[in-house]
Structure 1
Amino acid sequence: MRSRLVWLVAATSSLLLVAFLVPLALAVRNAASTRAVNSAVMQAQALAGLLPTAEPARLEVLLSDANGATDGRLTLFLSDGTVLGYPAQHSAAVEAALAGSSLTARVPDGREVLVSVAGLPSGPAAVRCLVPDATWTSGVYRAWLLLCLLGLGLLAVSLLVAGRLAGTLTRPISELADVSHRLAAGDLSARAGETGPAEVRQVSAGLNLLASRIGELLADEREAVADLSHRLRTPLTALRIDAESLRDGRDRNQIMADLDAVERTVNEVIRAARRPIREGVGASCDAAAVVAERVTFWSALADEENRIVGGHLPAGPLPVRVTADDLGACVDALLDNVFAHTPEGRGFEVRLRALPEGGAVLAIDDEGPGLATSSWRRGGSGAGSTGLGLDIVRRTAENSGGGVWFGTAPGGGASIMVEFGPASTQQPVAHPIGRRLLPR
Structure 2
Amino acid sequence: MRLRILLLVGATTSLVLIAFLVPLALLLRTVAADRAVQGATTEAQSLSSLVATSDRDALGLALQQLNASSAGAVTLFLSDGTRLGAPADRTPLVELGTLGRSESATVDGGREIVVAVRDRAGAAAVIRTFVPDAELNRGVPMAWLLLGALGVVLLGVSLGVADRLARSLVRSTTDLAAVSHRLARGELDARADPGAPAELGVVADAVNVLAARIAELLREERETVADLAHRVRTPLTALRLEAEALPDPDHAARIGAGVDGVERAVTQAIEQARRRGSGSDAGRAGSDAARVVRERVAFWAVLAEDTDRETTVEIAPGPLPVALPAADLEACVDALLGNVFAHTPDGTAFAVRLTARPGGGARLVVADAGLGIPVGSAALRRGASGGGSTGLGLDIARRSADQAGGRLTLGTSAEGGLEVVVQLGPER
* TM-score, normalised by the number of residues in structure 2: 0.84
Number of corresponding residues: 415
Q: Which residue pairs with 1:429 in the alignment?
A: none
Q: Which residue of 2 aligns with 1:208?
A: 208
The residue aligned with 2:292 is: 294
AA aligned to 1:406 is T
**Corresponding residue to 1:381 among 377, 385, 389:** 385
Answer yes or no: is 1:347 the counterpart of 2:348.
Answer: no
Determine the structure 2 residue equivalent to 1:248: 248
Partner residue in 2 for 1:308: 312
Q: Distance in 1 between matches of 2:122 and 2:315?
A: 131
Alignment partner, residue 45 of structure 1: 45
In 1: Cα distance, 2:408 partner to 2:82 partner: 111
Choose from 318, 321, 325 the match for 2:327. Answer: 325
Compared CA separation, residues 72 and 350, structure 1 to 2 (3 A): same
C-alpha separation in 2, matches of 1:255 and 1:334: 21
Structure 2 portions without partners, runs of 5+ = none
Distance 1:124 1:5 in 2: 70
Residue in 2 that maps onto 1:12 = 12
In the TM superposition, residue 219 of structure 1 has moved relative to its aligned partner by 1.4
Q: Map Cα deviations across residues 135-190 of structure 1 (whole Å, 9 max, x no partner).
A: 22211111111111111111211222222234444433432332222222222111
Match of 1:414 among 407, 411, 419: 419
Match runs of 1:88-167 below 5 Å: 88-121=88-121, 123-167=123-167
| Counterpart AA for 1:181 | H
Equivalent position SS for 2:15: helix
CA offsets, 1:297-347, max 9 Å, x none?
A: 2443468432323476775645x3x44322332343234335544573232
Work out the CA distance in 2 between the residues paired with 1:407 and 1:116: 113
Alignment-mate amino acid for residue 62 of structure 1: A
Residue 37 to residue 363, structure 1, CA distance change in 2 (3 Å): farther
The residue type paired with residue 61 of structure 1 is: L
Whether contact under 8 Å (1:37, 1:131) holds in the other structure is: yes
Q: CA deviation at 1:410?
A: 7.2
Distance 1:224 1:330 in 2: 23
Matching of residue 266 in structure 1 with residue 266 in structure 2: yes
The answer to whether the Cα contact below 8 Å between 2:364 and 2:423 also exists between their aligned partners in 1 is yes
How far, CA to CA, are the matches of 2:366 and 2:244 in structure 1?
A: 40
- Distance in 1 (CA, whole Å) between partners of 2:424 and 2:17 is 61
SS in 1 for 2:89: coil
Tell whether the 8 Å contact from 2:321 to 2:427 is kept in structure 1 after alignment.
no
Letter of the aligned partner of 1:48 in structure 2?
S
Structure 1 counterpart of 2:291, which letter?
E
TM-score, normalised via structure 1 length: 0.82
Letter in 1 for 2:25: A
Cα distance in 2 for residues equivalent to 1:24 and 1:138: 16
> What does residue 366 of structure 1 align with?
367
Q: Is the 8 A contact 1:308 1:347 kept in 2?
A: yes
1:110 Cα offset (Å): 1.6
- The letter for the 2-side match of 1:366 is A
Q: CA RMSD in A?
A: 3.1
Distance 1:90 1:360 in 2: 108
Q: Which moved more, 1:372-381 or 1:147-156?
A: 372-381
Specify the alignment match of 1:233 in structure 2: 233
- CA drift at 1:268: 3.1
Percentage of matched positions with identical amino acids: 45
The alignment partner of 1:308 has SS state of strand
Q: Secondary structure at the match of 1:376?
A: coil
Instruction: State the secondary structure of the residue aligned to 1:392.
Output: helix
Distance 1:184 1:329 in 2: 25
SS of the counterpart of 2:294?
A: helix
- How far off its partner does 1:100 sit? 1.0
Q: In structure 1, list runs of 5 or more residues that go unmatched.
A: 424-440
| Alpha-carbon separation, structure 2, partners of 1:401 and 1:245 | 42
Q: Equivalents in 2 of 1:50, 1:186: separation in Å?
A: 101
